[in-house]
Structure 1
């Protein structure tokens, strides 16, 4: 499912054998291509997403509405049938499930008509994403959890340190779109912040960008803007590693190419304005003096 001219600040970091890394800066996260450290780029969250506040926002239940954990476990069990060809059956307590407005509306029908089985079909959803969604409803987090005071995730031995295929980026992207669909804003914020903790390669970034532009709305700048900004600042170097894939992505999602071009042109305009407001001494030319008689 990542120049000084860009809207985000960029820093140079040491190379790491050709992978794309996300390094911590004063702004949330930086992704750097090691083979060209002099052209470091950043895919940082937009200003609206303050990663430092994610932990405070993670719990979807207000303090005044809080019930004991045991009381939630006494609530009716709801069956979730996830997937189409080989569906998986999950069980969830209704008191946790109704923290989502989407499921709250469905569960109200169970109370109105007790003859309706407490079962919900989710044929188009990803089992791992649904599992993480439920984990968040129960605990306010999901694995891998964010390490306290850091912009990194706890170690997951089942995945490589560098996301070459995009599977780790897609994991959090799917959770983001699921949280958006089912109305859990705190989970959207959390999953979005975890995306900036992933070390990835160009191939992984291609797959991530493809998912984002296929499954999010045009006006969803929270998730789309960092993708476009990243490629706008680094497309000239990353294309050499995945030119065919990059071209195919632009043809598949014209909005992706348009967003990148818009940012490139905006940056160019900003540079021109800055040069006019603060001309460098090297650009100042003296008026030629005309002498007489060759003097």
Structure 2
């Protein structure tokens, strides 16, 4: 049916320039090539790659159990997870590659990691998200009755910041982006924001603008109003992390320069210089 339809179009088409005739002939040749199973000139080289078989959740659960040792000494916590899920992280894929199938324990030590952040990481592996989840269509999170609505201490901000740095270490980009998006959904105070800024500038690399730039922008645009609420903490943060003070100052100066350029390009009526007016007394003198 496809061949007859193509023939009808070509037969019914009005006679035109030679170029039109060649296009019709080319279409005919392509149809014949397709019918013979030959590759078209623009086809990919080689056969198409077969789609990878889908791994079912049951297969993940049937994988070996790995023990995670978080913390040290009296603060050590033991958690377990399925290896099939853990190896989605390059960090754990490398660690699990060292295991030997001889019945010996499969353990990964995480002495310096935050237990709550690891819990969020595991929750993400098993469910694709972690609590509190974002409310669809809103810039807010599910209500958590265990914490106040306004983060006065920075605890809620630090929770997502620690998940962010852990996801970066474990190589899970999606979890990293998810944690970053949740940070912007937390209502906090000046002191809470300073606690969060201190963590960011201590535990993230200098070139990580994804999380650092919003912190510097926040304080560059609001420090004149928020500094009074936590002036001592703000001063201490600037002295402890000079890079923070420099980033904030750079953005303040950039914004000032931008305003000056806009005023030069679009001067207002009040910006024009006026000749000085002399009083009649001064003129008479």
Aligned to 2:152: 164
Query: How many angstroms apart in 1 are the aligned matches of 2:213 and 2:61?
Result: 40
1:98 has 2:87 as partner: yes
Aligned to 1:57: none
Aligned to 2:183: 195
Aligned to 1:237: 225
Unaligned runs of 5+ in 2: 1-50
Distance 1:250 1:76, change over 3 A: same
CA drift of 1:151 comes to: 1.6
Query: How many angstroms apart in 1 are the aligned matches of 2:156 and 2:105?
Result: 35
Aligned to 2:76: 87
Structure ranking higher on relative contact order (CA contacts 8 Å, 6+ apart): 1
Equivalent residue in structure 1 for 2:133, among 118, 135, 145: 145
Aligned to 1:216: 204
Query: How many angstroms apart in 2 are the aligned matches of 1:169 and 1:93?
Result: 29
CA drift of 1:64 comes to: 4.8
Equivalent residue in structure 1 for 2:63, among 60, 64, 75: 75
Q: Secondary structure at 1:270's aligned position in 2?
A: helix
Query: How many angstroms apart in 1 are the aligned matches of 2:204 and 2:227?
Result: 24
CA drift of 1:274 comes to: 0.6
CA drift of 1:157 comes to: 1.0
Unaligned runs of 5+ in 1: 1-62
Query: How many angstroms apart in 2 are the aligned matches of 1:115 and 1:220?
Result: 42
Q: How many residues align?
A: 229
Aligned to 2:250: 262
Aligned to 2:35: none
Aligned to 1:119: 107
Q: TM-score if structure 1 supplies the norm length?
A: 0.74
CA drift of 1:289 comes to: 9.8
Query: How many angstroms apart in 2 are the aligned matches of 1:158 and 1:229?
Result: 30
CA drift of 1:286 comes to: 4.8
Aligned to 2:272: 284
Query: How many angstroms apart in 2 are the aligned matches of 1:93 and 1:196?
Result: 32
Which has more helix, going by share of residues?
2
Q: Secondary structure at 2:134's aligned position in 1?
A: coil
Q: Secondary structure at 2:161's aligned position in 1?
A: helix
Q: TM-score if structure 2 supplies the norm length?
A: 0.77
1:204 has 2:199 as partner: no
1:134 has 2:143 as partner: no
Q: Secondary structure at 1:91's aligned position in 2?
A: strand
Aligned to 2:262: 274
Distance 1:208 1:98, change over 3 A: same
Query: How many angstroms apart in 2 are the aligned matches of 1:230 and 1:103?
Result: 35
